């Protein structure tokens, strides 16, 4: 038995590797030959690549009580969805886009309360006003507010990706199918976002879509090489027709770098994902073009261990975007103090009245 290291630090939410078997069916989409495919150069037609990511944050847990004595859970939260605009050929500087915080008052619909926007006016005019827009969530779970903020962030990410990406023809033979603008979205592509040039990059290998007979290829890939494109259905649990899943996806794996000998052999591998047309037995030309250039592009964007603990999968633009999103939301400590000060003043007014 040989012991290998998972490269991600133990204080991250999850490790880089879990490999829980996928319960559904996975089909060959590009070729029946299961072997490495070499990377190709990035065509001049692709002039813009945007990296989209989001960041949620809970800022306070709340308990709401109405005039009738009813109690319900709530929470103050914030999220950001933004993008980095970069040239894949290195002819211009990268630029941050739409990195602005949105604040949320998430509350349960169990108590039937009517909640209005909460405005936290600053004591110092230079610190700005915090405005929390009400959003209701179902049920009365303790984590309901956190889940609502996360859901709003994911929806904002999906909307931004769809808006920024070029349309993607689903024709098999169109020679001009490669878009001029490609969006790299952190995580899997979202339900309902087909028809756009959005490439989801999944940094962790928590689900095994390959099985024992195919996963060995990942450890032999050279930097930039990829696997053939596969097809599966989201949420497929195997078995009956009711468990087939909702939408089809294309997926393939790319190696970003060679891992050190003491790390597990999948340490430098990333899984990629795009929407697939329903009931098709071919890979659209645009998807295939993106798959062919993905290894070269992602190797250029991959982070290094001395700069990022989640290297190489946490891409350099993603790390820069995470820092910008953190700044947009402001200091969590200062925001918490603002919330406490605001509630103390409001409750003090009620006590005086």
Please state the domain extents for the chain.
17-48+169-236+246-321
Give the model's pLDDT for residue 305.
Answer: 84
Does residue 92 carry a pLDDT above 80?
yes
Does residue 254 carry a pLDDT above 90?
yes
User: Nearest-CA neighbor of 77 among 130, 126, 122?
Assistant: 130
What's the burial of 216, exposed, middle or buried (CB within 10 Å: 0-12/13-18/19+)?
Answer: exposed
Q: Cα 69 from chain centroid?
A: 40
Say how far apart CA 289 and CA 283 lie, in whole Å.
10
Average pLDDT (31-40) is 96
CB atoms inside a 10 Å sphere around CB 133: 14
Contact status, residue 290 vs residue 199, Cβ threshold 8 Å:
yes
Average pLDDT (112-127) is 73
Contact status, residue 230 vs residue 215, Cβ threshold 8 Å:
no
Give the model's pLDDT for residue 60.
Answer: 94
Say how far apart CA 53 and CA 160 lie, in whole Å.
9
Reported as type and span, the H/E element at residue 150 is helix 144-164
Does residue 6 carry a pLDDT above 90?
no
Say how far apart CA 53 and CA 80 lie, in whole Å.
8
Q: What confidence tier does 245 reach under pLDDT thresholds 50, 70, 90?
A: low
Q: How far apart are the two ends of the chain, measured CA to CA in Å?
A: 73
Give the model's pLDDT for residue 124.
Answer: 63
Which one is predicted more confidently, 252 or 71? 252
Contact status, residue 249 vs residue 283, Cβ threshold 8 Å:
no
Does residue 335 carry a pLDDT above 60?
yes
Tens digit of each residue's pLDDT (9 = 90 or more) over 48-88? 999 999 999 999 999 888 766 678 889 999 999 999 999 99
Give the model's pLDDT for residue 111.
Answer: 64
Which one is predicted more confidently, 170 or 194? 194
Contact status, residue 189 vs residue 157, Cβ threshold 8 Å:
no
- In DSSP terms, 60 is beta-bridged to 76
Give the model's pLDDT for residue 262.
Answer: 78
Buried b (16+ CB within 10 A) or exposed e, 154-170: bebbbebbbebbbebbb
pTM of this structure:
0.90
Backbone phi and psi for residue 322, each to the nearest 5 degrees, phi listed first: -60, -40
Lowest pLDDT segment from 16-20, 55-59, 72-76, 317-321 = 16-20
Contact status, residue 111 vs residue 70, Cβ threshold 8 Å:
yes
Mean pLDDT of the chain: 88
DSSP classification of residue 281: S
User: Nearest-CA neighbor of 189 among 269, 295, 271?
Assistant: 271
Contact status, residue 135 vs residue 108, Cβ threshold 8 Å:
no
For tokens 């769809």, name the residue.
162
Tens digit of each residue's pLDDT (9 = 90 or more) over 336-349? 999 998 888 887 76
Give the model's pLDDT for residue 2.
Answer: 79
Say how far apart CA 99 and CA 326 lie, in whole Å.
10
DSSP letters, 252-291, are EEEE-SPPPTTB-TTTTEEEEEEE--TT-SS--HHHHHHH
According to DSSP, the β-strands at 130-137 and 102-108 are: parallel
Q: 195 to each of 139, 146, 158, how far by Cα in Å?
A: 34, 31, 13
Give the model's pLDDT for residue 345.
Answer: 84
């Amino acid at each position: 038995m040989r012991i290998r290291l998972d490269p991600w630090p133990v204080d991250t939410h999850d490790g880089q590797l879990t490999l829980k078997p996928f319960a559904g069916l996975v089909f060959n989409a590009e070729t029946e030959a299961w072997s490495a495919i070499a990377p190709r150069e990035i065509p001049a037609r692709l002039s813009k690549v945007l990296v989209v990511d989001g960041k949620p944050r809970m800022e306070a847990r709340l308990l709401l009580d109405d005039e009738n004595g009813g109690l319900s859970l709530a929470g103050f939260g914030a999220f950001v969805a933004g993008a980095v605009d970069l040239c894949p050929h290195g002819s211009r500087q990268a630029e941050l886009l739409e990195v602005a915080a949105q604040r949320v008052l998430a509350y349960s619909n169990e108590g039937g309360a009517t909640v209005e926007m909460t405005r936290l006016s600053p004591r110092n005019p230079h610190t700005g006003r915090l405005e929390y827009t009400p959003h209701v969530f179902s049920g009365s779970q303790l984590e309901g507010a956190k889940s609502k903020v996360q859901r709003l962030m994911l929806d904002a990410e999906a909307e931004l990706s769809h808006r920024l990406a070029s349309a993607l023809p689903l024709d098999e033979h169109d020679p001009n199918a490669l878009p001029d603008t490609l969006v790299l979205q952190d995580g899997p592509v979202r339900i309902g976002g087909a028809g756009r040039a959005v490439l989801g990059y999944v940094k962790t290998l928590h689900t095994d879509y390959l099985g024992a007979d195919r996963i060995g290829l990942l450890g032999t890939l050279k930097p930039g090489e990829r696997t053939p494109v596969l097809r599966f259905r989201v949420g497929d649990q195997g078995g009956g027709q009711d468990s087939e899943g909702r939408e089809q996806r294309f997926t393939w794996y790319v190696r970003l770098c060679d891992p050190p000998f003491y790390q597990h052999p999948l340490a430098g591998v990333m899984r990629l994902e795009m929407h697939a047309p329903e009931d098709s037995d071919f890979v659209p030309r645009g998807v295939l073009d993106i798959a062919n250039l993905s290894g070269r592009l992602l190797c250029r964007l991959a982070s290094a261990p001395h700069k990022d603990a989640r290297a190489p999968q946490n891409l350099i633009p993603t790390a820069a975007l995470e820092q910008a999103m953190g700044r947009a939301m402001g200091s969590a400590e200062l925001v918490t103090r603002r919330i406490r000060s605001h509630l103390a003043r409001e409750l003090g007014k009620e006590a005086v009245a």
